[in-house]
């Protein structure tokens, strides 16, 4: 009777409150493990890193066997570009010299002609002044002749002087016009020569060769870059899959694995039934069931996955569910140095859902 009463009371008690979410997890770098592959097919010629080496972004990790050929092609393209640029500089200097020479000839033609035109204009001005005086004298001589003060012969001489000056002025004016027309024609011819010199000094063809050489160099540098395997991010070489002499291809295996082990995380595979209890910022403890490290590590939930998938980390218990549906939860480890060399280690994770 008492046992039935105790059982009834026990059944009426509320179920125990869950305070932790436990899960299996794996250790990996916070940057994830990057499988570094070759950008072109070939064979590994030289590896310049070893497992465990620390590398920086862009650092060369390995050379393919086509590197020497591509480097020679790049050097040839660089020399062709340098030659084209030197030719462009020479053509530019020659063109400038020719244009300057043509412009100098233009000045040599123009200056004497301007001087001749100016002298002719001065002569016209002098003749015009003489003619003005002679015409005034002619009027006075006509008046004097009418009054009988001078002889007819004096009047005729003055009229002849006026006629001569008018003829000289007309000739001088015509000469100036011829000089101006000749100057205009000579200037037009000289300017045409300058324009022709500038046109003949056109650098379009040479510049086209420079552009073509620059494009060839860019192509050669791109092809050379394909023969180098570089680090896409800073980190540590975790494993090497291909060694000198082994073939690599775009569709083949990666050359090496790289991860930034300065900060490690644990990817905990939380059952879909428990994921609603997990929140960002919750504290977690991490232990190793196989003794890979002795102390209990701590961490913080920093990311909760958005996709439910089949579990990747399998329990060593044969009765465990090998086809569970889980969500990956990333836990930032506080003691990264302890597990920095233990990528993919299986661990037990307990997330404190009350923290």
Is the predicted pLDDT of residue 317 greater than 60, yes or no? no
**SS3 state of residue 198:** helix
Closest CA to 297 of 274, 265, 259: 265
Is the predicted pLDDT of residue 195 greater than 80, yes or no? no
Q: What integer is the mean pLDDT of 112-136? A: 89
Helix (H), strand (E) at residue 327 = strand 325-333
Q: 157 Cβ partners below 8 Å, 6+ apart?
A: none
The two three-digit tokens of residue 181, written as one number: 């027309």
- What domains can you pick out in the chain, each with its CATH number? 14-30+263-355 (2.40.30.170), 46-66+227-259 (2.40.50.100), 72-208 (1.10.287.1490)
How confident is the model at residue 319, as a pLDDT? 43
97 versus 159: the higher-pLDDT residue is 159
How confident is the model at residue 310, as a pLDDT? 86
Q: What's CA 349's distance to the chain center, in Å?
A: 47
Closest CA to 240 of 46, 39, 2: 46
- Report the percent of the chain where pLDDT is more than 90: 55
pTM of the model: 0.60
Q: What integer is the mean pLDDT of 200-219? A: 81
| 155 phi and psi angles, rounded to 5 deg | -65, -45
CB 66 within 8 A of CB 38: no
Bridge pairing between strands 264-271 and 228-230: unpaired
Q: 297 Cβ partners below 8 Å, 6+ apart?
A: 285, 286, 287, 333, 334, 335, 338, 339
pLDDT tens digits for 247-295? 998 877 899 999 999 999 999 999 999 999 999 999 999 999 889 999 9
Q: What integer is the mean pLDDT of 27-56? A: 93
């Amino acid at each position: 009777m008492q046992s039935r009463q105790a059982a009834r009371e026990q059944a009426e008690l509320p179920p125990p409150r869950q305070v932790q979410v436990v899960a299996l997890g794996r250790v990996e770098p916070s940057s994830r493990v990057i499988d570094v592959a070759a950008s072109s097919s070939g064979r590994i010629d030289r590896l310049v890193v070893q497992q465990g080496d620390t590398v920086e972004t862009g650092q060369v990790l390995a050379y393919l066997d086509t590197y020497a050929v591509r480097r020679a092609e790049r050097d040839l393209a660089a020399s062709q570009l340098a030659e084209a640029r030197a030719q462009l500089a020479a053509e530019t200097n020659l063109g400038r010299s020719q244009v300057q020479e043509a412009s100098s000839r233009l000045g040599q033609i123009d200056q004497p002609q301007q001087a001749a035109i100016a002298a002719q204009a001065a002569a016209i001005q002098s003749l015009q002044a003489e003619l003005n005086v002679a015409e005034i004298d002619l009027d006075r001589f006509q008046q004097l002749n009418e009054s009988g003060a001078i002889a007819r012969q004096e009047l005729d001489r003055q009229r002849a002087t006026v006629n001569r000056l008018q003829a000289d002025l007309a000739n001088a004016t015509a000469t100036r016009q011829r000089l101006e027309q000749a100057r205009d024609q000579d200037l037009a011819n000289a300017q045409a020569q300058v324009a022709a010199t500038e046109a003949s000094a056109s650098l379009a063809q040479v510049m086209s060769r420079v552009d073509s050489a620059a494009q060839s160099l860019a192509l050669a540098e791109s092809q050379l870059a394909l023969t180098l395997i570089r680090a896409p991010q800073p980190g540590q070489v975790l494993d090497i899959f291909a060694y000198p002499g082994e073939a690599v291809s775009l569709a083949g295996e990666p050359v090496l694995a790289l991860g930034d082990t300065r900060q490690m995380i644990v990817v905990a595979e939380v059952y879909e039934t428990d994921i609603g209890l997990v929140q960002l910022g919750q504290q977690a403890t991490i232990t190793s069931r196989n003794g890979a490290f002795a102390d209990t590590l701590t961490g913080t939930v920093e990311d909760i996955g958005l996709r439910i998938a089949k579990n990747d980390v399998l329990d060593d218990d044969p009765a465990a569910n090998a086809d569970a549906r889980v969500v990956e939860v990333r836990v930032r480890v506080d003691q990264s140095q302890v597990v920095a060399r233990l990528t993919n280690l299986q661990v037990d994770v307990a997330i404190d859902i009350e923290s």
